[in-house]
Amino acid sequence: MNYKKYFKGKVILITGGTGSFGNAVVKRLIKLQPKRIIIFSRDEKKQEDMRNTYKSKLIHYVIGDVRDIYSVDQAMKDVDYVFHAAALKQVPSCEVYPIEAVKTNTIGSYNVMIFAAKNHVKRVVVLTTDKAVYPINVMGMSKALMEKLMISCSQNFKTVYCGVRYGNVLYSRGSVIPYFVSLIKKGEKLRVTDAKMTRFLLSLEDAVELVLESLIKGKTGKVYVRKSPACTMETLAKAMCEIFHYQKGYVEVGVRDGEKMHETLIASENKPLTSENTRRLNVEETKQLLLTLPEIQEERRMYEQKNS
């Protein structure tokens, strides 16, 4: 798709813009000649890191929190499009501090949607998660409520609201693959919650493509997904060990509070789309997918260089 004609000259706000998604989408947006890209987040260190990385006059950095209606309102001035990525995403943390997840993922998301309408923003895409389908943990519940609020806003305001729901993004910040890499560097066994647990596998590039396409083509009140393959945690651990020629293997440590054995992208009474019934990758297929990631390529190069 020719995205330039949609984004050229536009002002784009990315909440939680210093995260993995924000960094990835900024790389795409800079090439599309927008008028301005606003990075809205509460972490000044990560903003400074981005500032030093991109060195672009197109990017404007705003310190703020989606929980604070005043900073959200101010950041929305003259904005055309919003990508709402700010969230508390760690399942264990949300289980321990559920009210904090509600404040950010539910109420904070509502603030973004309401003030987008107030400031006449044309389109808003909210990033949600497979954990919002049949939720059993606080993170999923708070995101499920966000989806319901998005649908409600779509029925009451002129702004176009839609959602994008996907599973685990490969090598995103705080995810299992960089955690496995850190354990390999320390010479420890890979810690697997349950060998039979399954998870969807989606590249960050595919996630960004889905979000951009949804912003342009999305119908108000709809949630969009991209079907992706999955693998077991055992398969993922074995693939990582083979990529790094790592001999120590893995150990099972037990499922954490609030974790599902299998995730669901689409709810259906007949046949839901889950990480158990989607296309399942074997070890070799998982290896090939992981080796497409620049981060894995670089980490393997450095690991081999250090251990040669």
Q: What are the catalytic residues?
A: 131
Place of tokens 């987040």: 41
Nearest to 212 by CA among 32, 63, 45, 54: 32
Is the separation of the CB atoms in 171 and 204 below 8 Å?
Answer: yes
Token pair 């973004």: residue: 112
| Pair 264, 273: CB distance under 8 Å | yes
Nearest residue to 169 (alpha-carbon basis) of 289, 281, 45: 289
E strand or H helix at 129, and its extent? strand 123-129
- Three-class secondary structure of residue 43 per DSSP: coil
The Cα–Cα gap between 11 and 194 comes to: 44
Q: What is the C-alpha separation between 211 and 33, in angstroms, rounded?
A: 18
Residues 6+ apart with CB under 8 A from 129: 89, 139, 140, 143, 165, 166, 167
Please tell me the total number of residues recorded for the chain in this structure: 308
Query: 20, 166 in Cβ contact below 8 A?
Result: no
Report the distance separating Cα 28 and Cα 32, nearest Å. Answer: 7
- Amino acid (1-letter code) at residue 303: Y
* Structure tokens that stand for 115 in this block: 């003030």
Residue listed under structure tokens 């158990």: 276
Q: Is 274 helix (H, G, I), strand (E, B) or coil?
A: strand
